[in-house]
Amino acid sequence: MYNVVFVLGPPGSGKGTICAQIQENLGYVHLSAGDLLRAEREREGSQFGALIEGHIKNGSIVPVEITCSLLENAMIANKEANGFLVDGFPRNEDNLSGWKKQMGGKVNEQFVLFLSCPVDVCIDRCLHRGQGRTDDNVESLKKRVETYNQQTFPIIEQYEKHGMVREVNSQRPISEVYQDVVEVFSAANQK
Ligand SMILES: Nc1ncnc2c1ncn2[C@@H]1O[C@H](COP(=O)(O)OP(=O)(O)OP(=O)(O)O)[C@@H](O)[C@H]1O
Ligand SMILES: Nc1ccn([C@@H]2O[C@H](COP(=O)(O)O)[C@@H](O)[C@H]2O)c(=O)n1
Ligand SMILES: [Mg+2]
């Protein structure tokens, strides 16, 4: 059984930043669905490159069969990990149902870490991220936020109904956000 923590929040809420620190200090392996899709987009011979790029530019969600297989392969390649930080997944109903179908019975879902932050702050962070992402522009960001509000937030609400969401306000200095996140992990792993 793989331990899994889903990490969700608006684009630019700091998911990747916090996951990198958790990976460094707590032995969880960080798997960003977006990073895996970008790597697949660049992989020579991939049949999905153009499809992935279309979705990324549009802020829409890639079919789950592609994303879930990338996640499962990365988990198999890191079997020794204490657990996995699955960052940016599940993003919509298709992600959620496909994950349950492919991974149900193979994973222990510990909790959902929800990094909450006002959208205007998040957009400003993305526009100043400086990583050259093809979707860090005003037009794509508008669509990404729309996708988040319409498709991803309802998934967080579903997990909330099951008492699985741990919300941390990420509109604060990174060190403060990280401190609260560590407390969430400590509480979860004491059980
Ligand atoms: N608490 C914070 N305060 C200020 N800036 C932050 C904070 N957390 C992250 N950042 C910065 O905001 C930008 C976006 O952060 P990050 O890439 O971690 O977000 P993300 O949630 O993974 O975004 P995406 O969903 O677009 O992948 C980065 O430049 C990062 O350095
Ligand atoms: N489950 C997912 C996650 C991401 N995508 C696509 O990648 C884009 C970038 O994601 P980040 O988490 O790195 O911001 C996102 O806008 C989607 O187009 C996806 O399809 N499914
Ligand atoms: Mg990210």
Does ipTM top 0.90? yes
| Number of domains, the chain | 1
pLDDT at 191 over 80: no
What whole-number distance in Å separates Cα of residue 177 and Cα of residue 14?
Answer: 9
154 CA → ligand 3 middle, Å = 19
Ligand nearest to the backbone CA of 179: 1
152 touches ligand 2 (CB under 6 Å): no
What pTM was estimated for this model as a whole? 0.98
Q: 5 vs 40, 46, 56, 159, 177, CA distance in Å?
A: 23, 28, 23, 12, 17
Ligand nearest to the backbone CA of 57: 2
> For residue 52, what are the domain limits?
2-190
Residue 97 has a pLDDT of 98
33 touches ligand 2 (CB under 6 Å): yes
Give residue 82's pLDDT band: very low, low, confident or very high (50, 70, 90). confident
Q: Specify the CATH number for the domain of residue 139.
A: 3.40.50.300
